[in-house]
Amino acid sequence: MTTIESLLKEERRFEPSAAFTAAAHLSGGAAYDELYRRSLEDPESFWSERARADLLWSKPFEQVLDWRPPHARWFLGGQLNASANCLDKHLSGPRRNKAALIWEGEPGEIRTYTYLQLHREVCKAANALAALGVEKGDRVAIYMPMIPEIVVAMLACARLGAAHTVVFGGFSAEALRDRILDAQAKLVITADGGFRRGAALPLKPAVDAACEQAPCVQNVLVVRRCGNPVSWVAGRDHWWQEVVERALPVRPATAVDSEHLLFTLYTSGTTGKPKGIVHTTAGYLLYTQMTSRYVFDLKDEDVYWCTADCGWITGHSYIVYGPLQCGATVLLYEGTPNTPHPGRFWEMIGRHRVTVFYTAPTAIRTFVKWGDEHPLRFDLSSLRLLGTVGEPINPEAWMWYHRLIGKERCPIVDTWWQTETGGILISPLPGVTATKPGSATKPFFGIEPEVVNEKGEACAADHGGLLVIKRPWPGMLRTVYNDDQRYRETYFGRFPTMYFTGDGARRDKDGYFWILGRVDDVMNVSGHRLSTMEIESALVSHEAVAEAAVVGRPDALTGQAITAFVTLHSKEPKLDSMREALKAHVAKEIGAFARPAEIRFAEALPKTRSGKIMRRLLRDIAAGQQTVGDTTTLEDLSVLARLREDED
Ligand code: WTA
């Protein structure tokens, strides 16, 4: 492998507005350049100043960084508590009675918690957990819907110095069991169910099945949310409403070392077994707080809404730990975006006067498909900043977001990061960075990314290669839980002192990063290494296309041939002439050698529960093979069956 060819050239550029810049936390490119330069030239003083100023310490740290590749330890000698940094910190000032959480259930009820009220709930839950035997150093699994209690549960664990392992509520009993066992969780917090698409979706049966095969679990704490019937194991199961409600609303926060385990979060790699990504306390808190402040420009007046689920890293870093440390008002929503109608999100933005909105490209493409009439019906005038995360955003989806949602007024921060990185590493800073649709733009302070070839040598501008990070940062993962060898191999196996992201990227002449997707999604067609993402973007730029996924299938002549799975806008007929038109469109946008060999129309694409297209499954279908790999993270299994039936 030499380098990855990068073919899409996006020329549009959007400067920050003078009004936004004037009010932003950081104003103008010069301020960024200066701070960025300092953060690289003297990282220890940069980070230690920020850690002293921005974190609430029980005991100050003595050493900033101990970097013995591939292991980093930060802020050694210090002690602190994560829940105290999210809550107690705000209780002595005017934020005490400010809304910390505004929650909307799918059926429509609204609950608001001030910082003081949230603090009391967390203390009660911590006391209840302690009474059930949870101690500092223990692990607790959380398997819950998006209700306020999930935030309370996470912070209550942190208050005791116990680590949480949040397992997304859409995972199966088997996936839950594997994570509970790997973490050796002592207690599980769950609910009877959660509301999705207008109905109660039960959670307790999966917990019951998982616990049958997980003897480490001693107690299960169950929030009554839907009132649906649940089976009960006497002695093991407890209603949240009984034990938490009667617990004392005060509980001192347990001071833990800077490098104390805050949580593990499981993520899938290229092999079947999920990896428990390890994040510790001080570095993670500092990094999520700083990125929240600068990337989302959070101010006390903001109403901030991140549509992620707490079961993913985005929920950890940018619903709970980052924004609450900043004293923000965080909106939380339980349900799906099209219940009871496809304008639900836009209606909620109007109702709560949301100012900062953070969502995923896959959601945006879905909204494009549903039609412009839905956002147009609602008042979006409160919005001032938009964000995206999770995958590369196609320039056409970016432009739709910019026009229809941001009304050409709101900066868009396209934030690149990973479960492993803890927080955002590459992103525009609003008010500072001119944006280009489809580019995550520039590194955050202290982050030194590079695009390299297989030998680890820097690629020239505009040449695609592997994205690495050349030095440690406070929010980085510390290891893989119970498997340090896997940590070393996955992230530092190729280059011993540089963190390997697994993503391809190119850097343009202005120093902007363009993420090309996972390198295992890269195709090799006639000796050209092509990013699936760029061909998808070309397809989506065609007016008939709602969503596209591109994979390579083995081809005797060209190495790989391109198969594109395409979802058309609902009213478009699926004609052969459309197939030809789309092939010609890609050839026109990128070049004849990138012309798909095959276009398949699909009603829906197989996605993970976090919305990522599962190209691995599509590759099998394109190659005409039975899927042998793991499908436990697939959102809707029937999609696979339907794709097979569609085979010509
Ligand atoms: C992809 C989600 C392009 C990337 C926070 C990364 C992105 C993986 C972007 C991590 C972005 C995330 N542009 N690609 N703005 N953000 N990715 O661990 O491939 O669920 O490696 O973390 O998502 O996914 P994860």
Residue 200, C-beta contacts closer than 8 angstroms, at least 6 positions apart:
192, 193, 194, 225, 226, 227, 228
What pLDDT, in 10s, does the model give residues 10-49? 789 999 989 899 998 887 888 899 999 999 999 999 999 9
What is d(CA 99, CA 109) in angstroms, rounded to the nearest whole number?
16
Tokens 């707490």 locate to 310
Cis amide bond preceding 70, omega within 30: yes
What pLDDT, in 10s, does the model give residues 354-399? 999 999 988 898 899 899 999 999 999 999 999 999 888 888 899 9
- What pLDDT score was predicted for residue 9? 73
Amino acid 22 reads A
* Atom of ligand 1 lying closest to residue 501 CA: 21
Ligand 1 shell residues, CB under 6 Å: 267, 313-314, 389-392, 414-419, 440, 501-503, 515, 517-518, 610
- Nearest Cα neighbor of 285 from 422, 481, 427 is 422
Report the separation in Å between the CA atom of 391 and the middle of ligand 1, taken as the mean of its atom positions.
5
- What pLDDT score was predicted for residue 620? 86
- What pLDDT score was predicted for residue 497? 94
User: Could you count the other beta carbons within 10 Å of the beta carbon of residue 137?
Assistant: 12
Domain boundaries, given as residue ranges, for the chain: 7-81+257-448, 522-647
Report the separation in Å between the CA atom of 479 and the middle of ligand 1, taken as the mean of its atom positions.
19
Helix, strand counts (H, E) of the chain: 21, 30
Structure tokens at 350: 């109007």
* Atom of ligand 1 lying closest to residue 517 CA: 19
Walking along the chain (648 residues) 10 residues at a time, the average pLDDT comes out as 62 90 86 95 98 98 98 98 98 97 98 98 98 98 98 98 94 86 98 96 96 98 98 98 98 98 83 81 98 97 97 96 98 96 98 97 89 98 96 89 97 96 97 95 98 95 95 98 95 95 94 86 69 84 93 79 91 89 88 86 86 85 72 71 64
- What pLDDT score was predicted for residue 2? 43
For β-strands 303-306 and 329-333, DSSP reports them as parallel
In this structure, which CATH number among 3.30.1370.100, 1.10.150.20, 3.40.50.12780, 3.40.640.10 belongs to the domain 7-81+257-448?
3.40.50.12780
Are 452 and 24 in contact, with CB atoms under 8 Å apart? no
CATH architecture of structural domain 522-647: 2-Layer Sandwich (3.30)
What is d(CA 119, CA 101) in angstroms, rounded to the nearest whole number?
11
* Atom of ligand 1 lying closest to residue 427 CA: 15
Shortest-distance Cα residue to atom 5 of ligand 1 = 418
* Atom of ligand 1 lying closest to residue 515 CA: 3
For β-strands 99-104 and 110-114, DSSP reports them as antiparallel
